[in-house]
C-alpha cells in the first residue's frame, strides 16, 4: 500500500546563519513539524547551494559542545573540515557523510575546508540531529566517517540514476552507517522522467527533502527545496522525476521517550540538561582550542 502524504512544506522564506559559514533553512523542527513528530530526527538544517565567494578568513562555527544525540553531516557541494576534543579531525567532501555520536559529551568545531575557502564556490550541505535513546545517551563520543565509495549503491535501471544508501536498507542494499535505533537514510539522484520505488516500515516517521529538482511522489508534486512529510498508512514510496532531482529520504522508528532540549544538549529531563551544563562547565567534555 502506498503511503499517503500528510503535507508538503515549502522552505522558510529566509535562511538563518549558523556561525558565519552555514546559511541554512531550518526544516525540522519547523512550522507543523515537531521533534516528536519526526522522532528520532530532532533537526534538519539545509544549506541550499550558495556561493560564499573566496575568502582568506575561514568561515564556520567555532568551538561548541554537544551531548545526548548524534549529528549527521551530508556534503553535496563544497568541503567541510572539523576538529573535536577527542583529537579527531577530518574533511568531509562531496558525497561523504560524517556521523558523529556526541553521546556523553564532546567539544566540536566545523568550518569550510581551507582550500575550498580560498577558492570559493558552491556550498551545499545538510545536517541532521538524530536522537539517542536514554540508555545510550552516556555512550562515549565517537565518529563514523563514511566516504562516498563506502556507500551502499543502487544503480537504477535504464540509466535512471543512483541511490547512495547511507543507513538502513534500500531494496536489497544496506548502508554502512551503524545506528542506535532503526533508521533509513537514502541519498537519491534521479534523472528526469525516470522513477523508483521502495518500502519503509509503516511505523517509521518518514520525510523527504527535495535538495534539487522536482518530483512526483506518491501522486503529488514536490518542488525544489520542499519537505515531504508522510503519514503512517502504508509502506510504499514511489518517485518520478519531472526534472533531474537530488533527494534525501529519512525514516526512523520513533523513540517514545520524553525530549528535553536546550541549545546543544538533548536529554530526557530538565534535571539532565542542568547536569549537562555542569559537566560542560567543569571541563568534562575535554579541551579544544
d(CA 133, CA 150): 27
User: Model confidence over 72-107: pLDDT tens digits?
Assistant: 999 999 999 999 998 889 999 999 999 999 999 999
All residues at 6 or more sequence positions from 271 whose CB lies less than 8 Å from its CB, including other chains: none
Any domain includes 207: yes
Any domain includes 84: yes
Any domain includes 266: no
d(CA 206, CA 161): 22
Show the domain range for 199: 5-252
User: Model confidence over 175-201: pLDDT tens digits?
Assistant: 999 999 999 999 999 999 999 999 999
Structurally, the chain folds into a number of domains equal to 1
Extract the runs of DSSP E, i.e. beta strands, from 52-199: 60-66, 69-77, 80-84, 89-92, 97-101, 106-112, 122-131, 142-146, 152-156, 161-167, 169-170, 173-174, 183-190, 195-199
What's the rounded mean pLDDT across residues 242-254?
98
Cβ(33)–Cβ(227) under 8 Å?
yes
pLDDT of the residue at 262:
95
Any domain includes 261: no
pLDDT of the residue at 208:
98
Answer whether residue 169 shows pLDDT above 90.
yes
What's the rounded mean pLDDT across residues 225-239?
98
What's the whole-number average pLDDT of the chain? 97
Q: What is the CATH number of the domain that holds 198?
A: 2.60.120.10
What's the rounded mean pLDDT across residues 56-62?
94
Question: Does residue 280 sit in helix, strand or coil?
Answer: helix
Answer whether residue 248 shows pLDDT above 90.
yes
Any domain includes 119: yes
Answer whether residue 211 shows pLDDT above 90.
yes
Answer whether residue 69 shows pLDDT above 90.
yes
Any domain includes 169: yes
Residue 251 burial (C-beta neighbours within 10 Å; 0-12, 13-18, 19+): buried
Any domain includes 29: yes
Confidence of residue 289 (pLDDT cuts 50, 70, 90): confident
pLDDT of the residue at 225:
98
Q: What is the pTM of this model?
A: 0.97
Q: What are the backbone angles phi and psi of residue 284, rounded to the nearest 5°?
A: -75, -10
Any domain includes 99: yes
What's the rounded mean pLDDT across residues 214-222?
98
Confidence of residue 32 (pLDDT cuts 50, 70, 90): confident
Cis omega before residue 40 (within 30°)? yes
Answer whether residue 269 shows pLDDT above 90.
yes
Confidence of residue 31 (pLDDT cuts 50, 70, 90): confident
Amino acid at each position: 500500500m502506498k503511503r499517503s502524504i500528510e503535507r508538503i512544506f515549502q522552505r522558510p522564506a529566509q535562511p538563518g546563519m549558523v556561525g558565519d559559514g552555514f546559511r541554512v533553512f531550518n526544516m525540522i523542527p519547523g512550522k507543523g513539524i515537531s521533534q516528536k513528530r519526526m522522532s528520532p530526527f530532532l533537526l534538519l538544517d539545509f544549506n541550499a547551494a550558495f556561493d560564499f565567494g573566496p575568502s582568506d578568513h575561514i568561515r564556520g562555527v567555532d568551538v561548541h559542545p554537544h551531548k545526548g544525540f548524534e549529528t549527521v553531516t551530508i556534503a553535496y557541494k563544497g568541503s567541510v573540515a572539523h576538529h573535536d576534543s577527542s583529537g579527531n579531525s577530518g574533511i568531509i567532501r562531496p558525497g561523504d557523510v560524517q556521523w558523529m555520536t556526541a553521546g556523553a559529551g564532546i567539544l566540536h568545531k566545523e568550518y569550510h575546508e581551507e582550500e575550498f575557502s580560498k577558492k570559493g564556490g558552491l556550498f551545499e550541505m545538510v545536517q541532521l540531529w538524530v536522537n539517542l535513546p536514554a540508555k545510550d545517551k552516556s555512550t562515549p563520543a565517537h565518529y563514523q566517517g563514511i566516504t562516498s565509495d563506502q556507500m551502499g549503491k543502487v544503480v537504477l535501471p535504464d540509466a535512471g540514476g543512483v541511490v547512495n544508501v547511507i543507513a538502513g536498507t534500500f531494496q536489497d542494499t544496506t548502508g554502512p552507517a551503524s545506528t542506535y535505533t532503526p533508521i533509513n537514510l537514502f541519498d537519491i539522484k534521479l534523472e528526469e522522467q525516470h522513477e523508483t520505488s521502495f518500502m519503509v516500515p509503516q511505523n517509521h516517521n518518514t520525510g523527504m527533502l527535495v535538495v534539487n529538482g522536482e518530483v512526483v511522489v506518491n501522486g503529488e508534486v514536490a518542488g525544489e527545496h520542499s519537505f515531504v512529510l508522510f503519514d503512517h498508512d502504508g509502506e510504499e514510496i514511489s518517485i518520478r522525476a519531472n526534472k533531474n532531482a537530488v533527494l534525501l529520504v529519512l525514516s526512523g522508528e520513533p523513540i517514545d521517550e520524553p525530549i528535553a532540549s536546550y541549545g546543544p544538549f538533548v536529554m530526557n529531563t530538565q534535571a539532565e540538561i542542568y547536569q549537562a551544563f555542569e559537566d560542560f562547565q567543569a571541563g568534562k567534555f575535554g579541551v579544544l582550542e
